[in-house]
């Protein structure tokens, strides 16, 4: 262990608790981390929703090593390198039909900021400059930059940071435990909740609204699965009023729901789609925004020597990130990982829902290889019960993730039935011991 832990201010971490009892990872391979005590810790959350192909994959490691020695950096403004174009073409082959343009970023948060700016600028370029309003959703998570927390709807991520961006409103969330508790897969009830967008239109007028952004599956708020028909209804309302629909697929992208993207799983195509995490298997930070041809083409006007979209990052399409992403896509393809969740989801769902009836479990939600187990809160101590389960599982050699009082699971797509059994048995034991 490092001699001192003082200097590092850790993100999204109870810093004081951690530094009293550190949980340090020193290695990783396949489905397992290694901690500083040499223990093997089963990874039930794919690192942080991102290591979809498992850890230490040879093609990805070799691609990064080779690229570092060949071209460590290339300026992305007015210049480029071949792998950026190769990666964009490879991604378009996987994307929902019509999303044929790719803009590279460095994270999910940056992808969201980029998509929001694209949406507002698009309407301005096409002569509807009054369309500046952005509509998010209660309980939504769209990263941690000001645009993302403004359209996001998680109170804890918003309450300390002032008034946010102006011109933002929210439709209601889809969580309905009274009608949909313990649903296996998509809940039956709630498609009509999409009609809340019509309330926004009535309040603000469609002529002021640029875009609506939602996660197809809301992850960080506690794994909320879209009701049957909900996303299609949202798509129809957006089309009716000329509003762009943005899917935030930072968590659901790259195989998590059984298809390359949740848009394909649910059969609904957005106008813009944000990704990150599984794009490089977590090996090098990278994100991207997919856009419809019509959006890109709208910007391609005026003198050819002028920049059409004044936005980008120093590290957009970084050579190491592109190499890692290409190695990741090769790994996904060779092992059929982008559709493997569809093969494993029945077993995963059955195992997950076997926890119904365990102490303090009030709901279980699942789709593909993502699941949420919601626990009753300890009176006056929200999130503590789930955190106690997290600590117990860590002690028993399984890494889970908690958000509020929900346990979230998203194992690497290479997961086997024996791993699922081990994860669920460990959580079951923890619930019985500490919940």
- Tens of pLDDT along 363-383? 999 999 999 999 999 999 999
- Distance in angstroms (rounded) separating the CA atoms of residues 246 and 267: 14
Max distance between CA atoms of the chain, in angstroms, equals 68
- Are 328 and 389 in a shared domain? no
- Distance in angstroms (rounded) separating the CA atoms of residues 80 and 73: 10
- Are 89 and 49 in a shared domain? no
- Percent with pLDDT over 70 in the chain: 100
- Are 316 and 170 in a shared domain? yes
Q: Strand locations in 69-177, DSSP E? A: 101-105, 133-137, 168-171
Contacts of 30 (CB under 8 A, 6+ apart): 54, 55, 56, 414
- The pLDDT of 219-237, averaged and rounded, is 97
- Distance in angstroms (rounded) separating the CA atoms of residues 92 and 89: 5
pLDDT at 251: 98
Pairing relationship of beta strands 40-43 and 101-105 according to DSSP bridges: unpaired
- Are 224 and 258 in a shared domain? yes
Dump pLDDT digits (tens) for 305-357. Answer: 999 999 999 999 999 999 999 999 999 999 999 999 999 999 999 999 999 99
Report the candidate in 22, 64, 136, 27 with the shortest Cα–Cα distance to residue 285: 64
* Token reading at 32: 């397992």
Confidence of residue 267 (pLDDT cuts 50, 70, 90): very high
* Token reading at 342: 């569809």
The answer to whether residue 208 sits within a structural domain is yes
Q: Per-residue pLDDT for 115 more than 80? A: yes
- Are 292 and 143 in a shared domain? yes
- The pLDDT of 127-156, averaged and rounded, is 97
- Are 26 and 143 in a shared domain? no
Q: Is 238 helix (H, G, I), strand (E, B) or coil?
A: helix
Q: How many CA atoms lie within 13 A of 383 on its CB side?
A: 9
How many separate domains does the chain show?
Answer: 2
3-state secondary structure 353-422: HCCCCCCCEEEEEEECCEEEEEECCECCECCHHHHHHHHHHHHCCEECEEECCEEEECCCCCCCHHHHHH
- Are 315 and 420 in a shared domain? no
- Are 73 and 172 in a shared domain? yes
Dump pLDDT digits (tens) for 245-257. Answer: 999 999 999 999 9
The answer to whether residue 10 sits within a structural domain is no
- Are 22 and 72 in a shared domain? no
Can you give the residue range of the structural domain that contains 410?
A: 15-56+337-434
pLDDT at 1: 62
Confidence of residue 3 (pLDDT cuts 50, 70, 90): confident
The answer to whether residue 8 sits within a structural domain is no
Confidence of residue 2 (pLDDT cuts 50, 70, 90): low
- Are 38 and 51 in a shared domain? yes
Report the candidate in 240, 223, 231, 242 with the shortest Cα–Cα distance to residue 267: 231
The answer to whether residue 1 sits within a structural domain is no
- Distance in angstroms (rounded) separating the CA atoms of residues 117 and 342: 34
Handedness of CA 11, 13, 17, 22 (dihedral sign): negative
Dump pLDDT digits (tens) for 39-93. Answer: 999 999 999 999 999 999 999 999 999 999 999 999 999 999 999 999 999 999 9
Q: Per-residue pLDDT for 435 more than 80? A: no
Here the CATH number for the domain that contains residue 228 is 3.40.640.10
The answer to whether residue 3 sits within a structural domain is no
Here the CATH number for the domain that contains residue 22 is 3.90.1150.10
The answer to whether residue 226 sits within a structural domain is yes
Handedness of CA 123, 208, 287, 193 (dihedral sign): negative
- The pLDDT of 260-267, averaged and rounded, is 98
Say how many C-beta atoms besides its own lie within 10 A of residue 96's C-beta. Answer: 21
pLDDT at 86: 98
- Are 49 and 103 in a shared domain? no
The answer to whether residue 7 sits within a structural domain is no
Residue 273: φ, ψ to 5°: -140, 125
């Amino acid at each position: 262990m490092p001699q001192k832990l003082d200097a590092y201010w850790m993100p999204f971490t109870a810093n004081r608790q951690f530094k009293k009892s550190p949980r340090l990872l020193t290695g990783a391979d396949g489905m397992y981390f290694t901690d500083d005590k040499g223990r093997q810790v089963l990874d039930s959350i794919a690192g942080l929703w991102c290591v979809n192909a498992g850890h230490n994959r040879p093609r990805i490691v070799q691609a990064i090593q080779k690229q570092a020695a060949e071209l460590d950096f290339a300026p992305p403004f007015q210049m480029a390198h071949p792998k950026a174009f190769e990666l964009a073409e490879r991604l378009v082959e996987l994307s929902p039909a019509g999303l044929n343009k790719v803009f590279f970023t460095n994270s999910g948060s940056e992808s969201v900021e980029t998509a929001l700016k694209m949406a507002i600028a698009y309407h301005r370029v096409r002569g509807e400059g009054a369309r500046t309003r952005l509509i998010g959703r209660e309980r939504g998570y769209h990263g941690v930059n000001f645009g993302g927390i403004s359209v996001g709807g998680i109170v804890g991520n918003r309450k300390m940071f002032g008034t946010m961006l102006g011109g933002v409103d929210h439709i209601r969330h889809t969580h309905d435990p009274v009608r949909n508790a313990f649903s296996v897969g998509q809940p039956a009830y709630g498609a009509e909740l999409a009609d809340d967008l019509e309330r926004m239109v009535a309040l603000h007028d469609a002529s002021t609204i640029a875009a609506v952004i939602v996660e197809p599956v809301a992850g960080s708020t506690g794994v909320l699965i879209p009701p049957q028909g909900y996303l299609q209804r949202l798509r129809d309302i957006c089309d009716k009023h000329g509003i762009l629909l943005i899917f935030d697929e930072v968590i659901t992208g790259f195989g998590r729901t059984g298809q390359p993207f949740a848009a394909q799983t649910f059969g609904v195509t957005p106008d813009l789609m944000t990704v990150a995490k599984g794009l490089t298997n977590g090996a090098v930070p990278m994100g991207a925004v997919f856009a419809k041809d019509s959006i890109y083409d709208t910007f391609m006007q005026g003198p050819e020597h002028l920049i059409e979209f004044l936005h980008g990052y120093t590290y957009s399409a970084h050579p190491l990130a592109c190499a890692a992403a290409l190695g990741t896509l090769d790994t996904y393809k060779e092992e059929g990982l982008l559709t493997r969740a569809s093969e494993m989801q029945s077993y995963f769902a059955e195992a997950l829902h076997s926890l119904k009836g365990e102490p303090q479990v009030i709901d279980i939600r699942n789709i593909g290889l993502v699941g949420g187990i919601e626990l009753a809160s300890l009176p006056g101590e929200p999130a503590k019960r789930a955190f106690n389960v997290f600590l117990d599982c860590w002690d028993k050699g399984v890494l889970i993730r908690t958000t509020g009082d929900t346990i979230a699971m998203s194992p690497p797509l290479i997961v086997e039935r024996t791993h699922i059994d081990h994860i669920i048995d460990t959580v079951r034991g923890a619930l019985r011991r500490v919940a």
